[in-house]
Amino acid sequence: MPRLQLFDYTVLYHFKHEKDNAGNDITKDSLVIVPSNQMLAPNAETVGKKVARLIDNKYENELNQCEIIVRPF
């Protein structure tokens, strides 16, 4: 069995860029859709795959706007 490492992860949802009639940026702030947590895994790629399954179904058509952040503890 490979040695497991501890990773922190979270998932952010970034809204599409919007501008008003004057050309000002009115894009909403990003949302945390999967709160920060920790996971034991052999590597960051494995964590990313497991965390992707935690994303709510309401974002399934907007996955390109979701960002999975993984870092070693």
**Binning pLDDT at 50, 70 and 90, where does residue 19 land?**
confident
- Residues 35-64 have a mean pLDDT of 95
Residue 26: is its pLDDT beyond 90?
no
The Cα–Cα gap between 24 and 1 comes to: 54
Of 64, 11, 60, nearest to 34 by C-alpha is 11
The answer to whether the CB of 6 falls within 8 A of the CB of 72 is: yes
DSSP state of 25: B
Residue 13 confidence (pLDDT) above 90 = yes
Judged by DSSP in three states, 30 sits in: coil
For range 54-64, the mean pLDDT: 91
Report CA torsion sign: 37, 9, 58, 65. Answer: positive
DSSP state of 19: B
